[in-house]
Structure 1
Amino acid sequence: MVLVREWSRDDAAAFFRAPSKDDDKYARGVVALRTGSPAYPGAAVLGVEAAWRAGAGFVRYVGADRVGDAVLARRPETVVGADVGSSRIDAWVIGSGTDPTDRTDAETLALREILSGASPVIIDAGALDLAPGTRAPFLVTPHAREFARLRDRLRVPSSEDERAEEAAQVAAKIGGTVLLKGARTLIADPDGTVIAVEAGTGWLSTAGTGDVLAGALGAVVAANPGAPLVEVAAAGVWLHGHAGRIAAGALEGAPGHPIVAMDVADALPLAVADVLA
C-alpha cells in the first residue's frame, strides 16, 4: 500500500512569492513551449497564455510558423522563434496539441534534444511516447487513457483500485515524475513519494484545460529551480484547480457554472493573488 500525502493550500503557498523590487523578468522564470500543431493550434495559445498568467517573467514559443502567428495574435509579448541555443530556459513544455503519428523525424530529433538537456521538461500529450530514456528532469502529464498506454508500454500491472500504486510504479520504471490527471490528481516520483490534489471543480472537465495546466506547470517549475519536482507539480495542479473554481464561481460551496479553458487561464492571476494573501 502506497502512502499518499494530501496536498493543501498551505502546501501550495510555499511555492509562490510576490516579486521584489530587485527581481527582473529572468528571476521570475523563463518558460519555453514547443507545443501545438496546424491541426491543434489552440493548445499552444492556451499553454502560452497560462504560462504568462501563472507568473512567468519570460515566455518563448518554439513551433510551427502558423501556430506562432496565432500565439502572437493572442500574446504579442511572447518571443517566437526556434533559435534558443544561447537562451536561458528554466522549464520546457512539450507535446500539447500534437499527434505522434504526424511527427516528422526532424521534430523528433528536436524534442529529443530538449529531453537530453538540463532544464526540467513538462511532457504532455503527443510527446509522452518519448519520455522513456529522458535525461533531463521531467514530468509526464497523462490523462487516464494516456496513462494506460504508458503503463502497458512499461509493463506495469493494472490495479483498478490502486491508482496511486500504479502511478508510483510507473514513476519508478520511467525514472521521472508522473502526474496522473483526474478528479483526484496523483503526482508520484521515482523515490516513492505520492501526492494527491483534489480537482477544483467538475467544471474543469472541458477541452483545453489540460493545455492550460501544462503551461501553468511550466511557469511554476521555472519559478522554483531546485525544488522537488513532485511538490512543485502539486503546487501547479492546486493553482490550476483554484483558478477553475474562481472561473466557474464554484467557491464556498456554490455549484458554479460552465467555463471554457481560456477562462481558467484568465483566472490564474486571481488564484496566485489569493494564495499570496
Structure 2
Amino acid sequence: MGLDELGTPAVRRLEPDDVARLWPVPGVSDQKYTRGVLGVVAGTPTFPGAAVLAVTAAVRAGAGMVRYRGPDDVARVVVSARPEAVPAEGRVQAWALGSGVPAAGERSGLRDGASERDTGSGADAGQHERIRYALAVACGELAQDAWDASAGPRPACVVDAGALSLLPATCPPSVVLTPHAGELATLLRARGADVDRDGVEAEPLRWARTAHELTGATVLLKGSATVVVGPEGAWSQADGPAWLATAGSGDVLTGLLGALLAAYGERVVREPGLAAELAAAAATVHGAAAVRANPGGPVAAMDVAEAVPGVVAELLRG
C-alpha cells in the first residue's frame, strides 16, 4: 500500500519547524496593536497568582499588549508583577478566560471565614460576569455593535478552569477549551455523556473528540500527552517533562495560547482549523519551556513562563 492510500491520520504532530512557521514574527511596520491585544480575565482575591501567571506568559510569548480585567486588588498585584499589563477596558483580538476563577456554584474562592454577602461579588469576585460577557461576544451571542462598534471582528478566546462551567451551548472553533481530564469529564457529563476522569484518561482522543462534537469548540485536553481536536483533525504533542504537572502550569499555557490567538486576530475566526494548530503549537512551546527552565529537574510555573522567549527564539533560529 502506498502512502497516498493510507488516508488521513488519526492524529498529527507538530515538529519544531511547523511551530516556527506558525509563530507570529513582527515586521518593521508593526506596533503593539497590530501585534495582537489579549484580554485576560483570570484570578480572584483568593487566587491572584493565576492572573499573574497568565499575564506573564502572554507578555513573555510576545503579545503586543495585555489588558487585565478583574477586581482592583488583583489588578494591583498583576501590575506590580508585570508593569506592562494594562488594567483597563479596550479593544482586544482575543481573550484568555477563567484561570484561577472558581467554577459556577463553587465556593472555594472565598477567603476563610468569608461569605458571599461579605465579599459583595461572591467567590468569583465579579469574574463570572466578565467571562460571560466575553464568551457572549466570542460565540456570536452578543452583536458587535451592542458592545463596542470600534472593537473590530469577533475575538477568539481560550477557556480555562472556572470559565468552562460558563460555556454557552455551542461555540465556534475559535473558542479553545483547555481542560484537564477531570474538568473535561465534568463538562461532558453536563452534556449527557457517561464518563468520569478515569475514562477520559484512558481514552483521551475519544473524549476530546466527543467534547468538540458536543460544543463545537476546539478542545485542548491537557495531560502527559496533550491532545488537540478541531474541525480539521487532531494533534498530539508530548514535549513537556512530567515535572510540568505542577500548580500554575495550566495558567501559563492559557496566557501563552491567548497571545498566539491574539496575534492571528480575525484569521482564527475566518479559518476554522487554525485554532487547533495554534493550540498544538502553544502546547509544544509550553513543554519545551519546562525543559529549558531546568533540564531534568523540577520546575515552577513562573520558571516555565520566563523560559518561553528563549524557546521561541531558538525555534525561529532553527
Superposition TM-score, scaled by structure 1 size = 0.90
Q: 1:253 maps to what in 2?
A: none
Paired residue type of 1:97: G
Over the matched positions of the two proteins, sequence identity in percent amounts to 41
Where does structure 1 differ by over 6 angstroms across 4 or more consecutive aligned residues?
A: none
Residues 91-127 of structure 1, C-alpha deviation per residue, up to 9 Å, x if partnerless? 1011100112245695433322211112111110011
Runs (5+) with no aligned partner, structure 2: 1-7, 108-122, 138-153, 269-273
State the alpha-carbon separation in 1 of the partners of residues 136 and 166 from structure 2: 11
Aligned counterparts of 1:122 and 1:42: Cα–Cα separation in 2: 18
**CA 1:108 to 1:258, structure 2 compared with 1: closer, same or farther past 3 Å?**
closer
SS state at 1:22 partner: coil
Structure 2: how far apart are the matches of 1:111 and 1:50? 20
| Other-structure match for 1:6 | 13
**Equivalent residue number for residue 120 of structure 2:** none
Q: Residues 14 and 166 of structure 1: is their aligned pair in 2 closer, same or farther, counting only changes over 3 Å? A: same
Where do 1:253-264 residues align within 5 Å?
256-264=296-304
In structure 2, what is the equivalent of residue 70 of structure 1? 77
Name the counterpart of 1:110.
130
SS of structure 1 residue aligned to 2:211: helix
Counterpart CA distance in 2 for 1:257 and 1:79 is: 34
Distance 1:223 1:57 in 2: 8
Q: Which AA in structure 2 matches 1:55?
A: G
Q: What is residue 210 of structure 2 aligned with on the other side?
A: 169
Equivalent residue for 1:125, pick from 138, 157, 161 = 161
Q: Which moved more, 1:18-27 or 1:37-46?
A: 18-27
Q: How does 1:208-223 map to 2 (within 5 A)?
A: 208-223=248-263
Gaps of 5+ in 1: 250-255
Separation in structure 2 between the aligned mates of residue 18 and residue 7 of structure 1, nearest angstrom: 18
Read off the aligned partner of 1:95 and give its amino acid letter. Answer: G
Greater displacement, 170-179 / 7-16: 7-16
Give the whole-Å Cα distance in 1 for the aligned partners of 2:216 and 2:49.
Answer: 30
Over aligned residues, Cα RMSD in angstroms? 1.9
Q: Structure 1 residue 128: deviation in Å?
A: 0.5
Q: Distance in 1 between matches of 2:125 and 2:49?
A: 23
1:224–1:232 contact (8 Å) kept in structure 2: no
Deviation, structure 1 residue 134: 5.2
Instruction: Give the structure 1 partner of residue 177 of structure 2.
Output: 140
Please say if residues 41 and 70 of structure 1, whose CA atoms lie closer than 8 Å, have aligned partners that are also in contact.
yes
Q: What letter is aligned with 2:237?
A: V
Please list the CA deviations of residues 169-195 of structure 1 after superposition, one character each: whole Å capped at 9, or x if unmatched: 110111101110001000112x26111
Counterpart AA for 2:41: R
Could you give the per-residue CA deviations for residues 58-80 of structure 1, whole angstroms, max 9, x where no partner exists?
01100011111110111112111
Distance in 2 of aligned mates of 1:172 and 1:61: 31
Task: Report which stretch shifted further, 17-26 or 113-122.
Answer: 17-26
1:36 aligns with 2:12: no
For the pair shown, the structure with the greater C-alpha radius of gyration is: 2
Partner of 2:96: 93
TM-score (normalizing by structure 2): 0.79
Match among 174, 188, 205 for residue 151 of structure 1:
188
- Counterpart position of 2:283: 237
Partners of 1:192 and 1:58 in 2: CA distance: 30
AA paired with 2:216? G
Output the CA distance in 2 between the equivalents of 1:186 and 1:21: 35
Q: Distance in 1 between matches of 2:193 and 2:211?
A: 7
